[in-house]
Structure 1
Amino acid sequence: MFRRMVKSLSILLAFAAWQAWAMDRVVGANASLDIHAGARSASLGGASLAVDHDLLELTSNPQQLANVENSWVAFSHVAYYEDTRYDYGAVQFPLGELGGLGIAFSRFGADDIPWIAEGDPLPEGSDYRTLSIADYVFTLAWGRRFLDDRLDVGVSFHGLYRELDQTGWGFRGDIGANYHVHPQFTVSTFLKGWTSSATTWEEGTFEYSSPEWYLALHFEQPISYFYGKLGAYWQSAGILHRENRDEDWDGEPRGGRFWEHPGDWFGGGRAGVEFAFDFGLSLRAGLASLSEMESWTAGAGIALSNWLRVDYAFESHPTLSAVHRVSLEFSPGLFLFPKKKSEPKPSAMQSQAMEKSEEAEEKSAVSEMEPTSEETLDEDSSGGIYWEE
């Protein structure tokens, strides 16, 4: 029995090695997985890795599920140029001490495309056949906190079905992490396609893209004078490979990897700023590419209640039409049980900071109540009640 198992495993490994050798290495296999769905992240220049609590970016930020307190459902709709549309839906479930589970489904494609066979005369009016092209993506993700609530880890798997002139199937696995250096400062990392991003076509062609690695930073500072807090977000370009950055948006040649051209690599990153008012309004702006001012983004969001949020994003482009993006997030649990708090559970560092602040306030209150030395002497000499330290 053991020999049969070893023989079967050897055959499977040999077949997998042959398949990997037969694949064609490309840039952007399963590129539909890289589209930003959430309006909040899109308005921040697409720095989704640094943005926490954006369920519509589950594809590129699975570690946000590590701190799930309530169930949420989110939807997003984007209308691109030439009637191309992108629709995305996601849901998250709290798992208690085991973290959180997320499921997402999306469709990116176009409908009612005229189809005329070669040699056929051009039809008159709308008397012609049409076809549709689309990518369908299914995502399953899980996240959990470790190391005394300092480390958030998330893992996600994506399956893709492509419907073009021929059908195709794709697969990718990702892993991400957040490390809370300080209650106001977080460092994030994301390894995209650690399983490699592979696609197979109906005609028998195999394609794959190698793994890619990203870094991100998030800093948050409360500003009580303006009744809110300011957040700054930054996400790097790919560290390991050139991706699609051999040319910038204007067609000019650029450098590639971090160790080859650090300046160009930094310019290919994304960044954004957000100010969230205490009454629920958020204003945002960003750059989808730090080297291209034409890539500016802007947007706003409003929390209508603790169970309903609406976001809008505007994305400019130097050559293509601007993109408008709208997203909606809804919590059935908070709607049915409105008394339950919607704020995420504070981390260990945040709890320690709150405890220290409370202790400082208590000491300050006690010091105000304690009498001075002169007051103590007067009360002591008069034979009244005196204070002891």
Structure 2
Amino acid sequence: MNREEMHMPDDVYESLVKHLDEMPIRAPLSDEFLEILGILFTPEEAELAAKLPFSNFTPAELAEEIDVPAGELAARLETMASRGTVFKSTKGGETRYRLLPPLVGFSETPFWPGKDNDTVRRLSPLWIKYLHGPWGKEIADRKVPLVRAVPVQEEVESSSQVLPFETIRELAEKVDYRAVAYCPCRQMKAYMGEGCEHERENCFHFGSMGRYIVEQGMGRELTLEETLRKLAEAHEEGLVFSADNYQGKVSTICCCCECCCVFLQSRNVLGFANALAPSSYAAAVEEESCLGCGTCEERCPVGAISLHGGDTAGVDAALCLGCGVCIPTCSGDAITLERREAPVGVPTLQDFLMGQVQG
């Protein structure tokens, strides 16, 4: 259905696109993006959204500026929060809102509940088309990648000690609230008839974003033990852990598959090598222990491991993400992760944000 058939007032939605395009991660104008906005925002909501800040605000702070009574504004924001287009958080008894961007935001919110309905089936092909168009380059071809691969602690060992790095366990332990939702990437592909067999309820969000997801019925709260168990299951499945590409507490851990993940697809299919930052480690094979079974070659999400017709596996360290998914199923216990000669540093939050502003 095109915009004319939907009776969409183009100027309202184009104004919203211009507003969203002001974010560091831009939202380029396209027909499919306008159609997406027409599904997610009523014309009245789109008109309001084009006036909303991307930083937290209270209705009272904004009401006079946009000439809408505070009570009416609060009610409209509540509706938009429930629809997944506005973020809501409460601290110290004060409720604040902000407009959600496409990423992390309203490209995911309709899919997090894991419910099959007309809305997600209409959105899925539009988002995929937008990804393969102008938006893919915007989110994947960046000086500082948005996300990074995170290796798994138990598998990164030297002869005497576990090598020092920020582990998945540490990331999960640092946060004060944990929630899980359904993976938007696998949901989209499934609704298009291109899904995979991997578990879908393993999109992890923490802190205020986790609370928002649970409060809006988009996911469920987890204990630390439940989080670690589901992460372990994802690792056994061969899913790549990716997290926010900055130091400190993270808000998201994704469990990525090469067939559906936006960032792995951007790297493998669209050719954006910087879509996902590698870890400071790379897989290494002990030739004497390698049985040549080829399981690691099958599990590698970026084609970094190959037998090349021989008896032992070889690793292209330049391609390797250092994620460790090749390790748990190695029948000869021949694979370890070794620190790269030039480790990949994780940016500070300030450097990460500056990098996004610069593109």
Give the TM-score, by structure 1 length.
Answer: 0.23
Larger Rg: 1
Structure 1 or 2: more strand by fraction: 1
Q: Which structure dedicates a bigger proportion of its chain to helix?
A: 2
TM-score using structure 2 length = 0.24
